[in-house]
Amino acid sequence: MFCKLINLIKTPQNLLTTKTFFYLRYFLRLFFLLNLNIYLIPTLSQVLSTPSSPIPLTRPPPPTITTPPIPKQRELLEYLFKFYRKELRPVINESTVTEVAVQLYFKQIQKVRENDQIITVYCWLEEVYWTDEFLRWDPSTFGGIKQLHIPAEMIWRPDLLVYNNANMNVHESEMMTNALVQHDGRVSLFRAVITGISCHLNLHRFPFDQQICYLMLASWSYDGSQVMVRPAGDDQTNQSAGLNRNSQMNLSSHHHQSSSSSSSSSSSNSGQNNYFMKSASLTHYIPNMEWRLIDFKTRSNLKMYDCCPNPYPDICYYFSIKRNPSYYLFTLIMPSALITTITVVGFFTTHSSTGENTEKVSLGVTSLLSLALILMMVSDKLPATSDTVPVLGQYYIGLICIQFTATYITTWTLHLQTNGNSGRALPRRLRHWLLGANPRNNNLFMKHLLGRELTTMQQSVRHRIKRFVNDFLFIIKD
């Protein structure tokens, strides 16, 4: 093969042929394989003499991972909510009534809007206890846990609403905390509520008025056969006895009557039963600078509506507030009284040396403008429509009438004085009515009141001649 390869290479015409390159490539490949066999591949005897290590047939075990123990609270939570449905009322027997005890802490009166008839209040609403029959456990099974804090969105809760709420964004005005669940199924839930309630404000005695309003809490969808709402601390047996004794009682409260009359189309007042009215808690109350809280009481009711066969329980919290009139007394009432007094005193002052009283007219017009500005401040506090005119409005109307009368009489006498200075006498009827109507007292009061404004034509001419002579002599001396 090598000789043949050499002869092929020596032949010049076959040097570049395909066959020559094929044999050359084959030779080089064979030479390369022979060198590998010599240096890299061991002999068979060496392979057989070398002891071989056993090939493992199974994988090594994975490293041991220690899992932490599951907390008892987590086990309890999974146990309670495995089959729990918050949409259903938490009773095993449907005929069982869910008792809900409610406690309301009146925190603060934030704002009273007289124009809109709305009072904004801040309250702590404590739905003290109700029993959830599906949230019960044995504390010994779960490490002695007797209570559990659960988000309120996870459990059933009564749909208590403020019936006379003036703000429809209920979720924006409430702050709800976690519910506290006891091992026997008792649930406590606390809420902070800022709500605006509609109230009929009687502003007849403004700013010395006193208002009586109420906040009504009730369930929107559950009637008395399903959920019974009552104030905290009331004994149910005593409450039922009080209901039977006072089923025909009609407590005198014009605000409650107005609310009943407004909903007469959907409810019947003949089926309304009232419990005893008692004082409510004011432990956490923060006083208001403008309004002083006089009284705060609560009352439970059972109302019959035309739509439903069973009555609906509700709780009404009545509160009486009285306005502090200091601000209005020193900023509105006293300044206007002083302005009117100055106007009246100015009306009785003597005229100037020249016989003119134009300053009195200017004083009266300025006083009227001042009262108009104060009246605009008062009108911003009063509603546009009212049953009666407030006492403060009547007061300002009286002041305006006094100032208008003084200014008008002053302008009229100035007109008479101008006519007298120009040589025109008073009308005969007017002169007879002012100076000759009562000859007994010779009209001394009218003479003193009008003075030189009611002069005769001769006196007016004599006065003008005397003034002209004085002016002429003064010019000659100069």
- Burial zone of 290 (CB within 10 Å; 0-12 exposed, 13-18 middle, 19+ buried): middle
One DSSP character per residue, 114-129 reads: TTTTEEEEEEEEEEEE
Cross-strand partners of 361: none
Separation of alpha carbons 386 and 371, rounded Å: 22
Closest CA to 282 of 321, 230, 323, 251: 321
pLDDT at position 265, please? 36
Longest C-alpha distance within the chain, in Å? 179
Report helix, strand and coil shares of the chain as percent, to nearest 5.
Answer: 40, 25, 35
pLDDT of 434 reads: 65
Residue 274: what are its φ and ψ, rounded to 5°? -115, 140
Domains and CATH numbers, the chain: 73-235+256-324 (2.70.170.10), 327-477 (no CATH)
For residue 102, what is the enclosing H or E element? strand 98-113
Query: Which pLDDT does position 468 carry in this prediction?
Result: 64
Instruction: Supply the pLDDT for residue 267.
Output: 39
Backbone torsions φ then ψ of 92, nearest 5 degrees: -80, -45
Residues whose CB falls within 8 Å of the CB of residue 225, separated by 6 or more in sequence, listed in order? 97, 310
Alpha carbons 269 and 264: distance in angstroms, whole number? 7
Are 231 and 298 in contact, with CB atoms under 8 Å apart? yes
Residue type, 49: S
Alpha-carbon Rg of the chain, whole angstroms?
A: 51
The pLDDT of residue 370 is 84
- At position 246, the amino acid (one-letter code) is N
Distance CA 155, CA 116 (A): 37
Selection from 148, 104, 154 nearest residue 127 by Cα: 104
* The pLDDT value given to residue 435: 62
Q: Within 10 A of 302 (CB to CB), how many other CB atoms are there?
A: 19
pLDDT value of position 474: 63
Shortest CA distance to 90 belongs to which of 181, 18, 199, 211? 181
| Cα-based distances in Å from 411 to 188, 357, 398, 451 | 76, 9, 20, 14
Q: Which residues contact 232 (CB under 8 A, 6 or more apart)?
A: 101, 102, 103, 126, 128, 129
The rounded distance, in Å, linking the Cα atoms of 84 and 74 is 15
User: Under a CB-based contact definition with an 8 Å cutoff, are residues 456 and 425 in contact?
Assistant: yes
CA dihedral 107, 113, 116, 120 (to 10 degrees): -10
Looking at residue 248, what is its pLDDT?
32
Q: What is the pLDDT of residue 186?
A: 93
| Closest by CA position to 347, among listed 362, 335, 337, 334 | 362
Tokens 């007219």 belong to: 361
Output the pTM of the full model: 0.64
Tell me the two tokens of residue 434. 């002012």
Tokens 């200091």 correspond to 326
Q: Indicate the length of the chain as a whole number.
A: 478
Query: Comparing C-alpha atoms, which of 361, 367, 350 is closest to residue 414?
Result: 361
Question: Reduced to 3 states, what is the DSSP secondary structure of residue 386?
Answer: coil
Q: Exposed e or buried b for every residue in 362-381, given b needs 16+ CB within 10 A?
A: ebbeebbebbeebbeebeeb
Q: How do strand 210-219 and strand 267-274 relate by DSSP bridges?
A: unpaired
With a cut of 50, list the residues of the chain below it in pLDDT.
2, 5, 14-16, 40, 44, 47, 236-271, 439-441, 448, 452-458
